[in-house]
């Protein structure tokens, strides 16, 4: 499901600008896997793959999808940027996950990951609704968004707090939202703290009544 406000060319511009900021390691897969962003490492610990079909929505150049595939499951990565998907395919090789940019693949998926994506899209409610519709019974939508203006980027269209994120997701089922910081010790404290954080979320759709 492409973002209706941007075409592949503008998505490529954003991806290529991001690559330029990362330095020479950006195309070193071993380095990238060893230095996964901390929010990705948290998701891998909290939601280990257990087989089934997995979609990484907004996968960029596929490094997180490759980390998922190394653990279990049949993984597909989707991104709107052809340049990012071309790099993901180079990283994956012929035996790796499937990466696509020209149409969101049909479900059902047992899990859909959506990390640091919703803040970029024009209509986050439409995106959530479409992703939920592609989940298998008992499946889950899992991901993250920046908390407030943490990790602010000019391409962000909105900010989230815990209440607002719950309000977005709650119409579709059972929801869990939690604030996470880079430092594990800060996550043990029972009150919100200042500083950059992400909101991790899990959405499990309601089972239709028979």
Predicted pLDDT at 84: 96
Residue 210 domain-assigned (yes or no): no
User: How open is the CA angle 17-19-25, to the nearest 5 degrees?
Assistant: 160
Residue 105 domain-assigned (yes or no): yes
Residue 38 domain-assigned (yes or no): yes
Residue 109 domain-assigned (yes or no): yes
H or E element: which one contains 141? strand 135-146
Residue 122 domain-assigned (yes or no): yes
Q: Report the candidate in 144, 125, 135 with the shortest Cα–Cα distance to residue 207.
A: 135
How many domains does the chain fold into?
A: 1
Residue 84 domain-assigned (yes or no): yes
Q: How far is the CA of 8 from the CAs of 47, 66, 204, in angstroms?
A: 31, 22, 31
What CATH number is attached to the domain comprising 23? 3.40.50.150
Residue 2 domain-assigned (yes or no): no
- Domain around 74: 8-205
* Residue 101 or residue 185, greater confidence: 101
- pTM over 0.75? The answer is yes
Task: Answer for the pair 81, 108: CB distance below 8 angstroms, yes or no.
Answer: no
Residues 113-123 have a mean pLDDT of 94
> Across the chain, what does the average pLDDT equal?
88
Residue 170 domain-assigned (yes or no): yes
| Per-residue pLDDT at 3 exceeds 60 | no
């Amino acid at each position: 499901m492409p973002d209706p406000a941007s075409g592949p060319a503008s998505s490529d511009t954003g991806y290529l600008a991001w690559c330029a900021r990362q330095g020479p390691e950006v195309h070193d897969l071993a380095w990238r896997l060893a230095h996964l962003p901390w929010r990705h490492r948290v998701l891998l610990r909290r939601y280990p793959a257990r087989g089934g079909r997995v979609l990484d929505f907004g996968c960029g150049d596929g490094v997180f999808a490759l980390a998922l595939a190394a653990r279990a499951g049949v993984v597909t990565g989707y991104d709107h940027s052809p340049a990012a998907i071309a790099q993901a395919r180079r990283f994956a090789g012929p035996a790796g996950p499937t990466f696509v940019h020209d149409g969101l693949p049909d479900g059902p998926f047992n899990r859909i990951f959506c990390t640091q994506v919703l803040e970029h899209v024009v209509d986050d409610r439409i995106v959530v609704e479409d992703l939920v519709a592609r989940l298998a019974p008992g499946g889950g939508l899992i991901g993250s968004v920046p908390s407030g203006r943490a990790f602010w980027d000019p391409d962000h269209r909105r900010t989230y707090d815990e209440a607002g994120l719950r309000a977005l997701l709650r119409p579709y089922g059972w929801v869990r939202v939690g604030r996470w910081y880079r430092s594990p010790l800060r996550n043990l404290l029972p009150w919100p703290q200042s500083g950059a954080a992400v909101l991790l979320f899990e959405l499990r759709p309601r089972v239709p009544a028979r």
